[in-house]
Structure 1
Amino acid sequence: MPVAVVTGASAGLGRALAAALVRREWTVLGTGRDPGTLRAAAAEAGFTPVPGDVTDPVHRARLAEAAGPRLDLLVNNASTLGVSPLPPLVEYPPDELETVFRTNVFAPLALARLLLPALATAKGVLVNISSDAAVEAYEGWGGYGSAKAALDHLSAVLGVENPEIAVYAVDPGNLRTAMHQAAFPGEDISDRPLPETAVPAFLRLLEERPPSGRFKAADLQVRS
């Protein structure tokens, strides 16, 4: 039975991915900062909850220990938008920007570093969740977008340096999530697709396993 670690599994895309993997008989360890929300999601979806904050090195070590010596998939999905409403980049509070980079860049790298031996043993897959804001210049998105751009490049380098595993940065598209709502406070985002609609793209990556690189979920949707 393949084993996966999915961060940010309490809700949104992380929860949808974890549930889909469980349905395919994967053993899934899911993380999230709020223990109650995570355990409720785990009970419904069938994954194993490992509560904690990915920016906490103690939690990362506990997660690596729980994953064991062989890991087929790591999905670095946990993320933070930062300040809401989104401010101009020159007005971004420095401490908040540090938090964005700590959560969206440094924590995924630190977790990947810990789990890389287990991934290498399984010739596994590392997925880092990206964004169109990593490659497009949107007003107000400078903090989040620059962090995701850094994560994209980090992913590319990890792929080159670790050819025994596949490393993907994936832009899931604009989804109907709490984070996306926080980016547009007071606006109706009900026209955005639900996170579950992006899941087939990730499953296709796992099934076809193309060379390491950056992908858009919209380009990976399974053709009928």
Structure 2
Amino acid sequence: MTSSTAIVTGAGQGFGLALTAALAARGTTVVACARNGDRLRAATAALPGVVALAGDVTDPAFRERLVATAGGRLDLLVHNAGELGPSPLPRLERYPLEALRGVLETTVLAPLALTQLALPLLRTSGAGTVVTLSSDAAVEAYPGWGGYGAAKAALDHLAAVLAAEEPDLRVHAFDPGDMRTAMHQRAFPGEDISDRPEPQTVVPAFLRLLDERPPSGRYRAADLAAPAGGLR
């Protein structure tokens, strides 16, 4: 990804920050965004080639600013920003509908809208790649995970259809598995999640996806950590 440009949403902490640091170390210019501007700027201040933009991806004006900041080139668009929903996680019988609208707005609608704006640049990059962050909750039925899981399932399907419509791009849904993040802690309030891997340990699997450019599709970090023959 040397001399390339990327947009990474939700880059202020967790996996988004770990990925931003790894891309910057490769020489990638990263337009990194997060809602908490102070945390984002502090976390990325020492990273070369990182442009930190504070804002909400659900804001149309901010999405336009993100793409404009990338300039005339965009090689990689990573939809990492997401919304867990209420904590503790509620069963569907009492899931607040307004909260679900917020989850869908951040996790599904905003990534689609940002992709629409970025497509012209991605198409002309020669190696345009879109990656959406997935979850096992998108494919497995866990009590309490109905809202978040439904949003991630919808995002997975958007990625699959985009791949069919844009055959010259690589479009991947990337499932990192459980990680020790603030969002994961919110899903399990009061529980010890120290047994989950740190986000930076998952980044090499993501980078392999970029480097080897397998066919568009859904990939799990656990599979990408396997020998090369495991990729489709």
Normalised TM-score (structure 1):
0.98
**Equivalent residue, structure 2, for 1:216:** 220
Structure 1: give runs of 5+ residues left out of the alignment: none
Structure 2 SS opposite 1:29: strand
Give the one of 168, 180, 184 matched to 1:180. 184
Structure 1 SS opposite 2:46: helix
One-letter identity of the residue aligned with 1:110: A
Give distance in 2, aligned partners of 1:132 and 1:76.
Answer: 16
Coordinate RMSD, CA, aligned: 1.1
**Equivalent residue, structure 2, for 1:157:** 161
**Equivalent residue, structure 1, for 2:113:** 110
One-letter identity of the residue aligned with 2:85: G
Structure 1 SS opposite 2:174: strand
CA shift, 1:69, in A, is 2.3
Give identity over the alignment, percent: 61
**Equivalent residue, structure 2, for 1:55:** 58
Structure 2 SS opposite 1:167: strand
Normalised TM-score (structure 2):
0.95
Structure 1 SS opposite 2:202: helix
Map of 1:23-34 to 2, 5 A cutoff?
A: 23-34=25-36
Give the one of 16, 20, 44 matched to 2:18. 16
Give the one of 66, 85, 88 matched to 2:88. 85
Give the one of 86, 94, 101 matched to 2:97. 94
One-letter identity of the residue aligned with 2:22: A
One-letter identity of the residue aligned with 2:217: G
Give distance in 2, aligned partners of 1:221 and 1:39.
Answer: 31
Question: Is the CA contact (8 Å cut-off) linking 1:204 and 1:222 kept in structure 2?
Answer: no
Q: Tell me the matched-pair count.
A: 224
CA shift, 1:45, in A, is 3.1
One-letter identity of the residue aligned with 1:213: G
